[in-house]
Amino acid sequence: GRKVLIVYAHQEPKSLNGSLKRVAVEELSKQGCSVTVSDLYAMQFEPRATRNDIVGCLHNPEEFNYGVETWEAYKRGDLSNDLIEEQKKVQEADLMIFQFPLYWFSMPAIMKGWMDRVLVQGFAHDFPNCYDSGLLKNKLALFSFTTGGSREMYAKGGISGDIRYLLWPIQHGIMHFCGVKVLAPHICFAPEYVSEEKRKEMLIAWAQRLKTLWKEEPINCSPEWYFK
């Protein structure tokens, strides 16, 4: 069976994000997938990239460089346990689903911290092994998120600009950079401002999409897709 990692960032299990995560676990498990959830708030995941991420001696104790130190520590097997755990989950996953509410045109800090700390050089990328030759190639990612603003606000002519502009740094700059192929995002617009009925429809639409997810083609990860 296929393996799925859901990286989930929401404080409240009863939220729509909590329900979307639950629907994904249920639907994908039904398909025979093995599903692992990293519930970042429940885990009290540390989002800050610090010296504590390296166990033992530093490569250059005179001047701390996080990128260099985590790269060297990864090669020596000297990253902190929480990072090794998350990297194992990523390594095993065929698909990663990131489930979160959009905060200030981006992901919550705790999830950005997961990206900063887990996707270190040597593990996820190693220049020139990036983009199509990134070290996590053959994996898929899907960003599933809720917004505060309506669909119209995030349309091309809307006040917030095309939602795809916001996806450039996270889908292209992080996932594609690491070689991951990206499926079209799943967006629930302004769930707080719609009826209970509409929120139920959002969950049904997500469950429906998950049924045929493995047949989907990744998006064309080029600037044209984001900025056309």
Give the tens place of pLDDT for each residue, 18-42: 999 999 999 999 999 999 999 999 9
Return the closest-CA partner of residue 93 out of 2, 174, 22.
2
Quick one: pLDDT at residue 186? Answer: 98
Give the tens place of pLDDT for each residue, 173-201: 999 999 999 999 999 999 999 999 999 99
Quick one: pLDDT at residue 221? Answer: 83
pLDDT-derived band at 14 (thresholds 50, 70, 90) equals very high
Residue 88's CB is within 10 A of a number of other CB atoms, namely 12
CATH code given to domain 3-227: 3.40.50.360
pLDDT-derived band at 100 (thresholds 50, 70, 90) equals very high
Query: What is the Cα–Cα distance from 63 to 61, expressed in whole angstroms?
Result: 6
Query: What is the Cα–Cα distance from 104 to 1, expressed in whole angstroms?
Result: 37
Quick one: pLDDT at residue 2? Answer: 97
Q: Which tokens is 216 given?
A: 């989907």
Evaluate if residue 95 carries a pLDDT over 90. yes
What is the Rg, in whole angstroms, of the alpha carbon atoms belonging to the chain? 18
Query: What is the Cα–Cα distance from 118 to 38, expressed in whole angstroms?
Result: 12
Evaluate if residue 228 carries a pLDDT over 90. no
SS (H, E, C) the chain: CCEEEEEECCCCCCCHHHHHHHHHHHHHHHCCCEEEEEEHHHHCCCCCCCHHHECCCCCCCCCCCHHHHHHHHHHHCCECHHHHHHHHHHHHCCEEEEEEECECCECCHHHHHHHHHHCCECCCEECCECHHHCCCCCCEEEEEEECCCCCCCCCCCCCCCCHHHHHHHHHHHHHHHHCCEECCCEEECCHHHCCHHHHHHHHHHHHHHHHCHHHCCCCCCCHHHHHC
Single-letter amino acid code for the residue at 91: Q
> Between these two residues, 221 and 67, which has the higher pLDDT value?
67
Single-letter amino acid code for the residue at 72: E
| Cβ atoms of residues 172 and 226 within 8 Å | yes
Single-letter amino acid code for the residue at 14: K
Give the tens place of pLDDT for each residue, 112-139: 999 999 999 999 999 999 999 999 999 9
Q: What are the boundaries of each domain within the chain?
A: 3-227
As a residue count, the chain comes to 228
Quick one: pLDDT at residue 222? Answer: 87
Return the closest-CA partner of residue 26 out of 14, 10, 37, 11.
37
Query: What is the Cα–Cα distance from 146 to 20, expressed in whole angstroms?
Result: 10
